[in-house]
């Protein structure tokens, strides 16, 4: 066992602190496996064997399609002193590229000055892509930007939605040009972030104090070895945290021991990194960790948070749809360049709000693993958010958990306290990342969870999470509660800004799907919601509501397989009943219909799924969304 194996990461909040020790930079040992885990492991073994060859082939194909090989068939190129730019002349004028080059050259001088290095003779090959589709098709990856230091190449999306390109990829190339390859990947990131000097339009020196104020000091052992991208999730740490804190680490070392010491560490320090760095600095790993945290805490004292109380914001009405990513590999993902057209078509229907739904995967309800899906990328979420806001639309960021086998998120429950603490730690990391993303891209509403009925009984953990989210994200927040067992029992409605209901209440139970019967059912749902609203004094959102266009869908609105008979008229009557009951109530502030595809396709009279597109239900939605709604100017919060 390494000396760093007992170094904890501490997350602090109003409820105190939780310490989770890391062994060899991995999450804590779970001890003896739970019975649920044993069952899951045995049952999944055969499935894994059957899927192994297919998965391996799929992964290889994805790598071949996404690997940043830095190629482009350009129609034009332009050279400056330290760059050679490749771009499509149909998309960008020479004057625009020249202006971009001038700014890049100015910043290049600042980066070399920070490293006290002579500018290298080799120019950076900079590929400017107009769309994510173009970037992927040229083999340059699917992120907003990336670097291939070995080829002295950078690729980035550059358009009216992403008019600025981070300096980090340029710095990654520069550092390897002047210092060679790093002995540890974290030190390469640290040197590049320090050289770049900024991250997301703010100086690196401002990020350490802010993040420490918001989340507490991060242990160096975890920071150095966490994973900040891809679909793996065991040690996930938001790249919006890890990248600037890596730069802060370099700034700390340089301010205390000098640039030459940091450069020596860059070339020599290896795994286990904390022990290696500590030995080089004549410290113990514990002393190094303590000194690093003292630095972060001292820096945090200089941070003055912007006081924008989310609870003081007036609620706003939302005519929404759940806008789910579909057909990413066919060009219909959140990062699509055609997203503006899809959103504009929704806008014409009266929709003024969308819920974006990034997923994280759990292999079983008692397995404390959260693995980020690679599908809904941060760049894609930003692309859709920016395009929606340009159309005057509101955006709710609403992360979901997806369980293997189609299980319900409400089944997630970990009886063992250590496993439960581990799940909450990983869940917080994921939620804090999405909250930080929502803050940066200007999302109008953030949903902290969705239908986690077994886990929301742990009130202290959720109140602590909400307090941290409030420091990170300055907009209003909600929670999407399950209609049947969670909505009326949730203990922390007073801590959020909107009561959120995933409304899949049956509108009838005896098979009578007449308009009269459905209206009676909707009115009963309304009375239950109204009783809860009076108790808590919060505005109410239907964070999800929907019906499959199947015969009997109104008896099991959550069940897309309730029957094989398509019935678009029944779906439309259910929409009408919900609108008739809820619209215009002074405490009701909108709904998000499940669901509308990001491709702008689907639906139609032969489609039995939830999508209301080109169905009578869509016409009902559009008619109601075009009506003016007058809400009370304020709702008393008790």
pLDDT at 4: 32
Q: Is 54 exposed, middle or buried (0-12, 13-18, 19+ CB in 10 A)?
A: exposed
Residue with the bigger pLDDT between 54 and 24: it is: 54
Model pTM score: 0.88
At residue 614, does pLDDT exceed 90? Answer: yes
Cα 438 → chain centroid: 8
Domain count, the chain: 2
Helix or strand (DSSP H, E) at 43: helix 35-66
Can the peptide bond before residue 595 be classed as cis, meaning omega within 30 degrees of 0?
Answer: yes
Q: Is 61 exposed, middle or buried (0-12, 13-18, 19+ CB in 10 A)?
A: exposed
User: In whole angstroms, what is the distance from residue 566 CA to residue 265 CA?
Assistant: 66
Lowest mean pLDDT among 37-51, 340-354, 426-440, 530-544: 37-51
At residue 317, does pLDDT exceed 60? Answer: yes
At residue 215, does pLDDT exceed 80? Answer: yes
List, for residues 437-495, the tens digit of each pLDDT value.
Answer: 999 999 999 999 999 999 999 999 999 999 999 999 999 999 999 999 899 999 999 99
Two tokens at 77? Answer: 């190129």
Residue with the bigger pLDDT between 25 and 313: it is: 313
pLDDT at 230: 54
Q: Is 548 exposed, middle or buried (0-12, 13-18, 19+ CB in 10 A)?
A: buried
Mean pLDDT of 290-300: 97
Work out the number of other CB atoms within 10 angstroms of the CB of residue 107.
16
User: In whole angstroms, what is the distance from residue 252 CA to residue 363 CA?
Assistant: 39
Instruction: Tell whether 256 is covered by a domain.
Output: no
pLDDT at 635: 54
User: In whole angstroms, what is the distance from residue 238 CA to residue 469 CA?
Assistant: 14
Q: Are 382 and 439 in contact (CB under 8 A)?
A: no
pLDDT band of 524, cuts 50, 70, 90: very high
pLDDT at 631: 64
User: In whole angstroms, what is the distance from residue 126 CA to residue 154 CA?
Assistant: 5
Instruction: Tell whether 280 is covered by a domain.
Output: no
Q: Find the helix packing angle between 417-441 and 459-472, rounded to 10°.
A: 20
List, for residues 115-172, the tens digit of each pLDDT value.
Answer: 999 989 999 999 999 999 999 999 998 899 999 999 999 999 999 999 999 999 999 9
Instruction: Tell whether 203 is covered by a domain.
Output: no
% residues pLDDT > 90 (the chain)? 79
Contacts of 619 (CB under 8 A, 6+ apart): 572
pLDDT at 588: 98
% residues pLDDT > 70 (the chain)? 85
Instruction: Tell whether 330 is covered by a domain.
Output: yes
Mean pLDDT of 572-584: 97
Using CA atoms, how far residue 17 sits from 197, 235, 510, 526, in Å, is 32, 19, 51, 41
Q: Are 567 and 549 in contact (CB under 8 A)?
A: yes
pLDDT at 485: 84
Residue with the bigger pLDDT between 56 and 106: it is: 106
pLDDT band of 16, cuts 50, 70, 90: very low
pLDDT band of 239, cuts 50, 70, 90: very high
Instruction: Tell whether 189 is covered by a domain.
Output: no
Cα–Cα nearest to 175, from 266, 107, 273: 266
Instruction: Tell whether 27 is covered by a domain.
Output: no
Q: Are 566 and 607 in contact (CB under 8 A)?
A: yes
User: In whole angstroms, what is the distance from residue 535 CA to residue 533 CA?
Assistant: 5
pLDDT at 228: 73
User: In whole angstroms, what is the distance from residue 54 CA to residue 589 CA?
Assistant: 46
pLDDT band of 533, cuts 50, 70, 90: very high
End-to-end CA distance of the chain: 52
Q: Which of 103, 137, 169 is the last residue of a domain?
A: 169
User: In whole angstroms, what is the distance from residue 69 CA to residue 142 CA?
Assistant: 12
Work out the number of other CB atoms within 10 angstroms of the CB of residue 584.
13
Q: Is 264 exposed, middle or buried (0-12, 13-18, 19+ CB in 10 A)?
A: middle
pLDDT band of 15, cuts 50, 70, 90: very low
At residue 311, does pLDDT exceed 60? Answer: no
Secondary structure of residue 172 in the 3-state scheme:
helix
Domain with 142, as residue range(s), is 67-169
Q: CA dihedral in degrees (454, 455, 460, 465; nearest 10)?
A: -150
The overall average pLDDT reported for the chain is: 88
pLDDT at 232: 54
Give the CB-side neighbour count of residue 259, counting CA atoms within 13 A.
Answer: 10
Residue with the bigger pLDDT between 250 and 9: it is: 250
Two tokens at 215? Answer: 């989340």
At residue 7, does pLDDT exceed 50? Answer: no
pLDDT at 27: 44
How would you label 438-450 residue by residue, b for 16+ Cβ within 10 Å and e otherwise? bbbbebbbbbbbb
User: In whole angstroms, what is the distance from residue 147 CA to residue 125 CA?
Assistant: 10
pLDDT at 9: 38
pLDDT at 612: 98
pLDDT band of 629, cuts 50, 70, 90: confident
Mean pLDDT of 298-322: 81
In the chain, DSSP finds a helix count (H) and a strand count (E) of 18, 20
- The per-residue DSSP string of 596-629 comes to EETTS---STT--SS--TTSHHHHHHHHHHTS--
Using CA atoms, how far residue 355 sits from 125, 188, 307, 389, 495, in Å, is 38, 37, 26, 13, 21
Helix or strand (DSSP H, E) at 47: helix 35-66
Lowest mean pLDDT among 3-12, 261-270, 475-484: 3-12
Cα 82 → chain centroid: 35
Q: Are 87 and 97 in contact (CB under 8 A)?
A: yes
Q: Are 379 and 157 in contact (CB under 8 A)?
A: yes
At residue 300, does pLDDT exceed 50? Answer: yes
Which CATH number do you get for residue 495?
3.20.20.80
- The per-residue DSSP string of 140-167 comes to S-SSSEEEEGGGTEEEEE-SSSS----S
Which residues, listed in sequence order, are joined to residue 125 by a DSSP beta bridge? 84, 153
Mean pLDDT of 334-340: 95
pLDDT band of 219, cuts 50, 70, 90: very high
User: In whole angstroms, what is the distance from residue 272 CA to residue 263 CA?
Assistant: 18
Instruction: Tell whether 22 is covered by a domain.
Output: no
Q: Is 409 exposed, middle or buried (0-12, 13-18, 19+ CB in 10 A)?
A: buried
pLDDT band of 307, cuts 50, 70, 90: low
Instruction: Tell whether 13 is covered by a domain.
Output: no
Helix or strand (DSSP H, E) at 478: strand 477-482
- 8-state DSSP, 345: H
Q: Which of 146, 169, 192 is the last residue of a domain?
A: 169
pLDDT at 181: 97
Q: Which of 129, 149, 169 is the last residue of a domain?
A: 169
Mean pLDDT of 85-110: 97
């Amino acid at each position: 066992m390494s000396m760093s194996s007992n170094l904890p990461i501490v997350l602090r909040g109003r409820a105190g602190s939780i310490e989770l020790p890391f062994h060899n930079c991995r999450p804590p040992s779970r001890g003896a496996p739970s019975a649920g885990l044993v069952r899951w492991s045995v049952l999944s073994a055969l499935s894994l064997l059957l899927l192994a060859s297919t998965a391996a082939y799929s992964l290889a194909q994805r790598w071949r399609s996404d690997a940043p090989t830095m190629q482009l068939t350009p129609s034009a190129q332009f050279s400056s002193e330290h760059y050679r730019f490749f771009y499509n002349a149909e998309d960008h004028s020479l004057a625009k590229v020249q202006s971009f080059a001038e700014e890049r050259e100015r910043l290049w001088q600042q980066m070399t000055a920070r490293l006290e290095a002579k500018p290298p003779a080799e120019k950076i090959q900079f590929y400017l892509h107009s769309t994510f589709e173009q970037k992927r098709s040229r083999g340059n990856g699917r992120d907003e930007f990336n670097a291939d230091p070995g080829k002295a190449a950078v690729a980035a999306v550059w358009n009216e939605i992403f008019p600025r390109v981070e300096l980090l990829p340029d710095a990654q190339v520069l550092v390897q040009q002047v210092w060679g390859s790093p002995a540890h990947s974290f030190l390469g990131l640290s040197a590049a972030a320090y050289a770049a000097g900024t991250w997301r339009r703010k100086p690196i020196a401002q990020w350490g104090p802010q993040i420490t104020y918001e989340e507490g000091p991060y242990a160096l052992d975890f920071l150095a070895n966490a994973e900040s991208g891809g679909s793996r999730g065991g040690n996930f740490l938001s790249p919006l945290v890890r990248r600037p804190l890596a730069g802060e680490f370099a700034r700390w070392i340089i301010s205390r021991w000098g640039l030459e010491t940091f450069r020596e560490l860059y070339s020599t320090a290896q795994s286990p990194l904390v022990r290696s760095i500590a030995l080089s600095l004549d410290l113990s790993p514990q002393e190094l960790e303590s000194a690093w945290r003292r630095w972060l805490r001292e820096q945090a004292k200089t941070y003055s948070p912007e006081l924008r109380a989310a609870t003081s914001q007036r609620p706003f009405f939302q005519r929404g749809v759940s806008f789910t990513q579909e057909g990413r590999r066919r060009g219909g993902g959140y990062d699509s360049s055609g997203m503006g057209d899809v959103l504009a078509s929704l806008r014409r229907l009266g929709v003024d709000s969308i819920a974006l739904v990034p997923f994280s995967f759990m292999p079983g309800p008692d397995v404390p693993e959260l693995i980020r899906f690679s599908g809904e990328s941060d760049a894609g979420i930003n692309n859709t958010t920016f395009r929606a806001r340009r159309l005057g639309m509101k955006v709710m960021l609403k992360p979901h958990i997806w369980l293997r086998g189609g299980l319900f998120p409400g089944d997630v429950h970990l009886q063992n306290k250590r496993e439960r603490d581990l799940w909450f730690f990983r869940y917080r990391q994921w939620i804090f990342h999405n909250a930080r993303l929502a803050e940066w891209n200007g999302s109008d509403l953030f949903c902290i969870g969705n239908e986690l009925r077994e886990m929301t009984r742990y009130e202290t953990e959720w109140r602590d999470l909400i307090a941290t989210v409030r420091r990170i994200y300055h907009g209003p927040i909600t929670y999407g509660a399950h209609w049947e067992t969670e909505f009326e029992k949730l203990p922390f409605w007073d801590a959020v800004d909107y009561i959120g209901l995933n409304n899949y209440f049956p509108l009838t139970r005896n098979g009578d799907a007449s308009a009269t019967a459905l209206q009676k059912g909707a009115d009963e749902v309304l009375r239950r919601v109204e009783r809860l609203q009076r108790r808590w004094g919060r505005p109410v959102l239907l964070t999800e509501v929907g019906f499959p266009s199947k015969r009997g869908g109104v008896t099991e609105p959550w069940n897309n397989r309730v029957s094989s008979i398509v019935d678009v008229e029944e779906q439309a009557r259910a929409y009408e009943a919900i609108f008739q009951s809820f619209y215009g109530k002074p405490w009701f502030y909108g709904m998000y219909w499940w669901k509308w595809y990001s491709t702008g396709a689907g639906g139609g009279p032969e489609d039995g799924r939830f999508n209301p597109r080109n169905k009578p239900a869509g016409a009902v939605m559009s008619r109601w969304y075009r009506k003016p709604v007058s809400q009370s100017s304020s709702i008393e919060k008790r």
